A = this chain, B = another copy of it.
């Protein structure tokens, strides 16, 4: 079946500010989905809480809008229980790298076969402008009137250090690159991290469209996406920030297929019924 990006859009009005970078990101994602012809009935959109996390609300697909920070464990479980689904997590930098930091680490260790698009606007948008883990040093907020001084979180470097199998960064304003990286991420088997720079026009007056244009550049074609140390080196480059796919490892087994539950059957769990005979046999061993 042929799909159009509109097939993935809900009719509801979006609660984002005019000019918000999330619009562009969403558009690229819909295009990627359409080009990959993923039926909405096979697509589960998962998110935490934040402005970014509203995206599944607007996506015509299954949706599990969880708690702030908790999108990844939910997504992992959904994929593990129902592996026929394409599972995509959209949430903010605060949600995934802040509140949800421990799950970020755990998902990489598991290599869950899910896509994780992080709307990195370097700020807490929904709660009105506090610093996020990726906020740059010196930025002033109401909680940091003298400026942020924590070392900014570097998601790419951490993911590469943890052994992630697909690590990319894009800026949503580069629509073609964004769409293509999303497509590759969806097609990749394993945990795919796409850190996506987006503007928060309302709360972040530093990292604007101009800023992103000026402070990013595309990784050269020649960049070897299979060299982990090289990928690490590129990931710690700042200002300008490279975009594109930094690292990719194919063929590493994914979480669900390694689970004992799939040793003898590949059926989603809801299609299986309890084997009462076996259970009676097990009970009998307690004699």
A159 smallest CB distance to B (angstroms):
8
* A6 adjacent to chain B (CB < 8 Å): no
Which residues, 91 to 132 on A, are CB-close (under 8 Å) to B?
97, 99-102, 105-106, 108-111
Chain A interface residue bracket vs B: 35 or more
A105-B153, A109-B153, A110-B150 known; A161 vs B258 contact (CB < 8 Å): no
Most buried by B among A105, A228, A235, A236: A105
A248 to B253, CA, bound (A): 35
* A232 adjacent to chain B (CB < 8 Å): yes
A126 smallest CB distance to B (angstroms):
20
Of chain B, the residue at the smallest CB distance from A145 is: B260
Task: Pick the residue among B105, B152, B161, B232 that contacts A101 (CB under 8 A).
Answer: B105
Contacts of A263 in B (CB 8 A): 146
A227 smallest CB distance to B (angstroms):
11
A110 to B137, CA, bound (A): 12
The answer to whether B151 and A111 touch across the interface, beta carbons within 8 angstroms, is: yes
Of chain B, the residue at the smallest CB distance from A101 is: B102
* A163 adjacent to chain B (CB < 8 Å): yes
Most buried by B among A110, A133, A150, A233: A150
Contacts of A211 in B (CB 8 A): none
A138 to B251, CA, bound (A): 18
Contacts of A105 in B (CB 8 A): 97, 101, 105, 133, 153, 158
A276 to B54, CA, bound (A): 46
Interface residues, chain A, with chain B CB atoms under 8 Å away: 97, 99-102, 105-106, 108-111, 133, 145-146, 149-154, 157-158, 160-163, 228-229, 232-233, 235-236, 253, 258, 260, 263
Return 24 A-B CB contacts under 8 Å, by A number: A97-B105, A99-B102, A100-B102, A101-B105, A101-B106, A105-B105, A105-B158, A109-B151, A109-B153, A110-B150, A145-B260, A146-B260, A146-B263, A151-B162, A151-B163, A154-B162, A154-B163, A157-B161, A158-B158, A158-B162, A161-B235, A229-B229, A229-B232, A232-B233
* Additional A-B contact list (20), CB under 8 Å, known A99-B102, A153-B162, A154-B163: A97-B105, A100-B102, A101-B102, A101-B105, A101-B106, A102-B102, A105-B105, A105-B153, A105-B158, A109-B150, A109-B151, A109-B152, A111-B151, A149-B253, A154-B161, A154-B162, A158-B161, A161-B235, A228-B236, A229-B236
Closest CB pairs A-B (n = 4): A157-B161, A101-B102, A161-B161, A102-B102
